[in-house]
Structure 1
Amino acid sequence: MANGVWHTGYGIEINLSLPDLGHPNRPDLLREITASVSERDPQLLECLAHHDKRECLSESGGKSPWMFIRRGRVGGRRPLVASHLPITHKATPEESAQHKATKERVVATAGRYGLDAEAEVPVANRRSVSDAVVTGPAGLRVGWEIQYHHLSPSSVHRRSVSAMENGITPLWVAKDRTASLIDRAPWARVDDMPWRDIAGGKEMVIRGGYRHLEVWKCVPSSERHCLVSEGAGHCGAIHADWFVPALCLPERKPVLIEDLVLRSATGESVPVYVPSRGSGRAGRHMWVSAADRARWEEIVDEKTPLPTTPVEEDDDVITFAEQEIDRSCRAGEDSWSVSDARPLRDLAEPTGGFTLPSLPPQRPSTSTRITPVERAAASAALGCPPWELGLCAGCTQMMRRYGPNAAMYCNVCRATLNGR
């Protein structure tokens, strides 16, 4: 893997292993050289061997002497790596056919639902193009980005922000659980299907990127584990977390791509961003029902907008080894296979959720006010309207105190009283 390139525009040699790339007077150099090839001159970066008129192995084997910069993945490190561009820098024929079939399916689905849809829509003065834009009856626009091959996190973020600035909600579609776009912007993952199946209408299930909110009281009778205590303990608090349909209790029906086309355009399904609480991941992007998002915002008592500035994850941090430039051509070594495998990003595990502390037992009579956040969480966990909530006459915990099948004492207090 090459650790140096020649910048044809500035006429300088770049050392990718140095934090300042060997040019401290050019603070924007890293951003410039890591831009997508489609957004810069493809001949901006040149193999050093080719520039020095030495043997460049790219001239045989379908490569070009022109290069692009990516982040490698070697032994837990993330060095910058210069790789040779193929002669034709395009997706494989199968990827192109899958891409085209998915785009056409989104547009056709929108048309069947009576929604306006257009393919290949220029965004931001034609600097980028959305694969398809679906417009809902209230004017909500959703930009579908079918991305079946690798794209850098910075490109995903830049294009997503550009879409949002132009009134379009981005919706990225991936087929690989390791895709770097996952959790960088609103996304959905489908199966890796032959293009003929996609075009022929075979069921396309959203495997990742769509979740449901579940709220439960952490007591021994709960089917869910405690989010804060280790082992099989129960803390008595109210927990809320997001689950993929298959892990909901009871299991939810899977969401199909047709469902998401309709719901995202009508506002029935909306994107939500949940910041990470302690892990190396910046946060989770997901599509959820509008009702679930409203309930989540009530429970956590805040609204978190979609990020408009890059949020760097632990795995994004570039490693600079500060080595001498190797001027040999590495065209035969710069394939993806020389890097460690990219980690799975689409994980079905819960997000870490949110815990609302339980009310303290035996509250003084002067402190019995239930806050709006407590009321919203208890209503969701206990499955009753907010106006039926009240305090147990024994322990003063929130319970279903009013309405049909209500009681004065909670189950724990009733069991204690019956045992006397």
Structure 2
Amino acid sequence: MANGVWHRGYGIEINLSLPDLGHPDRPGLLDEIMTSVSGRDPELLECLAHHDGHTCESEAGGKSPWMFIRRGRVSGRRPLVAAHLPVTHKPTPAESDQHKATKERVVETALRHGLEATPESPVRGATGRSIADALVTGPDGTRIGWEIQYYPLGKSGVYQRSTRARDNGVMPLWVTKSTQADLIDRAPWARVDDMPWREISSGREMLIRGGFRYLQTWLCKPTSARQCLDNGGAGHCHGLHADWFLPALCEPPKPAVHIEDLILTTATGESLAVFVPSRHNPRSGRHMWVPVQDCVTWTEMDGATRLPDLPTSEPDDSITFDEQEIDRSCTAGQESPSFRSDPRPVRDLGQPTGGLTLPLLTSRRPNRDGAAALTVTGAERVAVAATLGCPVWEVGPCSRCGQFIRRYGPNAPIACSVCRGQGR
């Protein structure tokens, strides 16, 4: 990586460590050089060593002397750095075998259960041609495009390919084996273990470690097994909370989800892709696959759309300008100490989304015994039913204290356990 390049179009030297890039008379220069290589002449930016007639280590290694610009990540700073093209990561033989084995497992599982499935399937639509590693079609025509991505792919590539697939009527489902993959929470995804291809092909258990969640609702009170979402775990608000959890973190734990489960349920509509915005930062959020009934319950409580349009970009961290002298040597294949990248951040942390809290249940009318009875909105009633594990129509007030319980249905009590225990 380097902190300077030669602009062949203007015939100027660019210092990436300066806020004005060394050219205050060109205010649009930054946006221009940050344009994706696919949207400009790939030979626009040149290695300074190559331009000066010196040895370009990249060219000597059989690659190009042409450059692209990106944000680096160094000790929390985000400097602009120049790197040589091409930037495509060539998968290792092991990665290629894993990719092929996973793709074949998806297709074979779908065909074995009577679904339509084809590998390397081209999809043509109004926005052009897209290719999925495996295309699985459900009974109602739902098409799931499995993208097996075991080697790095930048976020822009994820956005572009996901948007193209959806525009062509295909729901993308990205598969990764890394907790650091850029695709996580930027499109519908699933994470599996890093397994040898022979074990994938042999049918060894292949669990979904991330990307699939269940909805959990609970009344925030001292006897609850979960903490309050609003008080930082301190105290209880007596409101109704709802959030999404990995199967093992549910109360009680849910069964593990296997890749075969995901192949079938996504195609049949039993599992849906949702995007839940972060409670504290609406610009971000989590993509996940969820059971259809959980999706219905969440929508009734939150009123949110199931899957908004995928963004084509996202806010970037502010660029750091260190105002240094240009290093004119070519350091291709070796990282300069000043530009040594920080480790890639872990994106799959398995954390809840922040959930939502429904208004506190309040007393609004007395019952015939003079005790306070509770009334609830439709959203609250849905949450209460989910918390109690019963249909909405079985929810009703305790005949003594008015707290809502499973009041109706077979063997349902007319009073809550507390009132019954106190003989009220």
Structure 1 counterpart of 2:327: 326
| 255-264 or 297-306, which deviates more | 297-306
- Map 1:271-286 onto structure 2 (within 5 A): 271-279=273-281, 282-286=284-288
Distance 1:108 1:14 in 2: 53
Structure 1, gaps ≥5 residues long:
none
Q: Report how far residue 71 of structure 1 moved.
A: 3.1
**Change in 2 beyond 3 A, CA 1:412/1:62:** farther
Greater mean deviation of Cα atoms: 213-222 or 140-149: 213-222
1:373 to 358, 371, 379: 379
Cα deviation, residue 137, structure 1: 1.4
Of 317-326 and 265-274, more deviation after overlay is shown by: 317-326
Q: Is the 8 A contact 1:143 1:171 kept in 2?
A: yes
Pairwise CA distance, 1:304? 4.5
* Aligned counterparts of 1:10 and 1:200: Cα–Cα separation in 2: 58
CA contact (8 A) 1:359 1:398 kept: no
Q: Distance in 1 between matches of 2:403 and 2:417?
A: 11
Partner of residue 392, structure 1: 398
Gap change, CA 1:335 and 1:197, over 3 Å in 2: farther
Instruction: State which drifts further: 17-26 or 275-284.
Output: 17-26
Residues 59 and 359 (structure 1 numbering): CA distance in 2 closer, same or farther, change over 3 Å? same
**What's the counterpart of residue 82 of structure 1?**
82
Q: How does 1:171-320 map to 2 (within 5 A)?
A: 171-231=173-233, 233-279=235-281, 282-310=284-312, 312=314, 316-320=316-320
The alpha carbon displacement at 1:267 in A equals 1.0
- Aligned match of 2:36 in 33, 36, 43? 33
Aligned residue for 2:50, secondary structure, equals helix
Native 8 Å contact 1:118 1:133 kept in 2: yes
SS in structure 1 of the partner of residue 66 of structure 2? strand
Runs (5+) with no aligned partner, structure 2: none
Q: CA deviation at 1:3?
A: 2.4
Number of corresponding residues: 413
- Aligned identity (percent) is 60
Give TM-score scaled by structure 1 length.
Answer: 0.87
Give yes or no for contact 1:62–1:86 (8 Å, CA) kept in 2: no
**SS at the partner of 2:119?**
strand
Which shifted more, 202-211 or 383-392? 383-392
Distance of 1:399 and 1:87 partners within structure 2: 60
Contact 1:148 1:174 in 2 (8 A): yes
Shift of the alpha carbon at 1:28? 5.6
Code of the residue aligned with 1:375 in structure 2: it is: R
| Mapped partners of 1:412, 1:103: distance in 2 | 55
Does the CA contact (< 8 Å) of 1:83 and 1:334 recur in 2? Answer: no
Does the CA-based 8 Å contact 1:64-1:87 persist in structure 2? no
- Report the counterpart of residue 3 of structure 1 in structure 2: 3
Q: Does 1:109 align with 2:109?
A: yes
Could you tell me how far 1:198 is from its partner in structure 2?
A: 1.9
Question: Judging changes above 3 Å, is the alpha-carbon distance between structure 1 residues 199 and 45 closer, same or farther for their aligned structure 2 residues?
Answer: farther
Query: Does residue 118 of the first structure (1) align with residue 118 of the second (2)?
Result: yes
Question: Secondary structure, in 3 states, of the residue corresponding to 2:100?
Answer: helix
TM-score normalized with structure 2 length: 0.86
The one-letter code matched in structure 2 to 1:2 is A
Q: Give, in whole Å, the separation in 2 of the partners of 1:263 and 1:44.
A: 48
Q: Tell me by how many angstroms 1:346 deviates.
A: 0.4
* CA distance 1:371–1:198, shift in 2 (3 Å): same
**1:53 equivalent in structure 2:** 53
Query: Which residue among 128, 133, 136 is the counterpart of 1:134?
Result: 136
Q: Is the 8 A contact 2:187 2:287 kept in 1?
A: yes
Instruction: After TM superposition, list the pairs within 5 Å mapping 1:12-31 onto structure 2.
Output: 14-17=14-17, 23-25=26-28, 29=32
What SS does structure 2 have at the residue aligned with 1:273? strand
Amino acid at match of 1:212: Y
Q: What's the CA shift string for 1:353-410, capped at 9, x where partnerless?
A: 1111231135467996532111111110111222222223444332222233434443
Cα separation, 2, equivalents of 1:283 and 1:205: 23
The CA deviation string for residues 224-270 of structure 1, in whole angstroms up to 9 with x for no partner, is 22222244533222111111111112222211112111111111111
Shift of 1:76: 0.9
Q: Deviations over 1:16-55 (max 9, x none)?
A: 44667665346863563365xxx87765543221123222
Q: Which of residues 403, 409, 412 is equivalent to 1:406?
A: 412
Cα RMSD after superposing both structures: 3.1
How far did 1:12 drift?
A: 5.9
Structure 1 residues 81 and 283, CA, compared in 2 at 3 Å: closer, same or farther?
same
Distance across 2 between alignment mates of 1:7 and 1:402 = 75
